[in-house]
Chain A
Amino acid sequence: MGRKAEGAGIAMAGPISMVTRHQAGRRATAESPPVKVVLIGVVLLFFGLFLAMPLVVVFHEAFKRGAAVFVSSFTDRYTMDAIRLTLIVAAIAVPLNTIFGLAAAWAITRFHFRGKTMLTSLIDLPLWVSPVIGGLIYVLLFGRQGWFGPWLQANDIRIIFAVPGIVLATTFVTFPYVARGLIPLMQAQGSAEEEAAATLGANGWQIFLRVTIPKIKWGLLYGIILCNARAMGEFGAVSVVSGHIRGKTNTMPLHIEILYNEYQFSAAFAVSSLLAILALVTLVLKSIAEWHATRQLEAGARAGEPQS
């Protein structure tokens, strides 16, 4: 399950693509019936094989030895520690990236400055590189042999193989989601309403709270939901910096791997099922946010149309 968030990277086209999608749907009847049947068949087959079946298997394995065993998996101290750590890491990384995402989207859509295109592409960097590299960067910086290693050791500060390292790695991997969700939305909406608010006497903070946030709230929520899902599910980057110390630096995805390697299949699948539920809840929330974001955008577009 640690890998599931990878797919979210592709879905990042975000609320904007939704607008064009159902407009394009109108002329989709151009294909001949056999082609249609084959295409739909292939999609359903892949869907079943690669998406639905694994999900069913996770829940099946989790409950194979009964609900009692399933529940007892969560009474394990290390499992509870892993769940707690995952929640703590997400609770730090998601707000950090929300603030960054807002600032970045604001800067990119409202100002012209040198290196803007570069910044826009750099935000996507964590989506391109393997998460393992994301983790390694921090080992190279803060590890025992790293750039800041000697200084950190001299001052008795632990980052690698400790919670701060996990937070850093998770923040790196989930960096782009909020910004990427907001940039297309804010570009499409423009800044006329903000300018109007300024001429009416609103200062920067009032404009942000009373005009910008209401305009982008669904797009923002969409980004936060994806960011959170990825933060809780991240395996690769966290694995590199964690050190896998049970009860201390084990997150849920790492814990699942350990349980699995120790042949505790029911427990492994029980914890997996939690992440799977998180994914399903994310999917529902994401769809709701997406629906609202699209409506918000369309409402904005309608209001700007010349008519009498």
Chain B
Amino acid sequence: MSIELHKISKTFGKFPAVKQADLVVQTGELVALLGPSGSGKTTILRIIAGLEFPEAGAVSFEGVDVTGISAYKRRAGFVFQSYALFNHLTIFENIAFGLRVLPRAKRPPQNEISNKVESLLDAVQLSGLGKRLPVQLSGGQRQRVAFARALAIEPRVLLLDEPFGALDAKVRKELRRWLRAFHEKTHLTTLFVTHDQDEAFEVADRVVIIDRGTVQQAGTPDEVRNQPANAFVRDFLDLS
């Protein structure tokens, strides 16, 4: 399912976080939203998820306008930088959460929920840890739980906010490779925010570079590196 942003603007108080931003993520693409901190990239991601509402512009999924639709109806999987796991629930229940809150008519029976959670635990290589609480896991493990939890709702698109930001270098590398491999398997439309250009270039099909709330350049890693669109991109990527 594709994501399209059309002239999105959002201000916080007097600070313009996003200005007339246009962005397209094609169906099945893995796109990195790259920019310095405070550039508005997380705000854009939150607008796509429905956690913030833009003052102007439109968001659509596969051509269908979702601008005014609340987060809980968008079915956009979101992985937070701080994981935001439910600390009072076990790993199993964290992953099952999105299924348990479905309306009665759509809610799968208990054994289906169990099977699904177990297979997701398997997919993120955490089998056997379902009974633990989030505090009993390492940061890398928690991040994978957050992934599994977001995937459980069979999201239409996957949004990742600095997914590896809080992890050490070794775990970051592992998870990057895991994400790329996962994407090769599922081809779930994915947009992830990062300030780390190595991460963006290594993982993404396309990179969108953003600064001060506006898109500076969008293209494949090679295009962006070989033909930087302006001085900011050249400077930010440290090209000379």
Contact = CB atoms under 8 A, between A and B. Distances in A.
Q: Do A and B come from one complex?
A: yes
Contact of B140 (A206, A215, A308): A308
B90 to A, nearest CB: 13
Interface in B81-120: 82-89, 97-98, 101-102
B40 interface: no
A308 B167 contact: yes
A195 B98 contact: no
Interface in A224-279: none
Sorting the interface of chain B by its residue count into under 10, 10 to 19, 20 to 34 or 35 or more gives: 35 or more
Contacts of A305: 139
B101 A210 contact: yes
A258 to B, nearest CB: 48
Given A199-B51, A199-B150, A308 B82 contact: no
B102 A201 contact: yes
Given A201-B153, A203-B72, A304 B51 contact: no
B168 interface: yes
Interface string A264-306: 0000000000000000000000000000000000011011111
A303 B87 contact: yes
B136 to A, nearest CB: 10
Contacts of B85: 193, 196, 303
Interface string B57-81: 0000000000000111111111010
B101 A206 contact: yes
Contacts of A123: none
A308 B174 CA distance: 12
Given A199-B150, A308-B139, A193 B84 contact: yes
Contacts of B171: 308
B166 interface: yes
Given A192-B80, A192-B84, A303-B83, A200 B135 contact: no
B138 A195 contact: no
A187 to B, nearest CB: 16
B88 A215 contact: yes
A193 B97 contact: no
Interface residues of A, number: 25
B75 A201 contact: yes
A302 B135 contact: yes
A67 interface: no
A237 B153 CA distance: 54
B66 to A, nearest CB: 13
Contacts of B102: 201
Nearest to A202: B101
B163 interface: no
Nearest to B87: A303
A193 B82 CA distance: 10
B86 A195 contact: no
B54 interface: no
B134 interface: yes
A299 B87 contact: yes
Nearest to B95: A200
A150 interface: no
Given A192-B80, A303-B85, A308-B168, A200 B138 contact: no
A22 B199 CA distance: 41
A214 interface: yes
A198 B72 CA distance: 5
Interface of A: 192-193, 195-203, 206, 210-211, 214-215, 299-300, 302-308
27 contacts: A192-B82, A193-B84, A195-B51, A195-B84, A196-B86, A198-B72, A199-B50, A199-B71, A199-B78, A200-B97, A200-B150, A200-B152, A201-B75, A201-B102, A202-B98, A202-B101, A203-B101, A206-B101, A299-B87, A300-B87, A303-B87, A304-B82, A306-B165, A306-B166, A307-B139, A308-B139, A308-B170
Enumerate the 8 nearest inter-chain pairs by beta-carbon distance, A residue then B residue, closest first: A306-B166, A200-B98, A192-B84, A199-B78, A196-B84, A198-B71, A202-B101, A214-B88
Given A200-B72, A303-B87, 12 more contacts: A192-B80, A193-B85, A193-B86, A195-B71, A196-B80, A199-B49, A201-B72, A210-B97, A214-B89, A303-B83, A305-B139, A308-B138
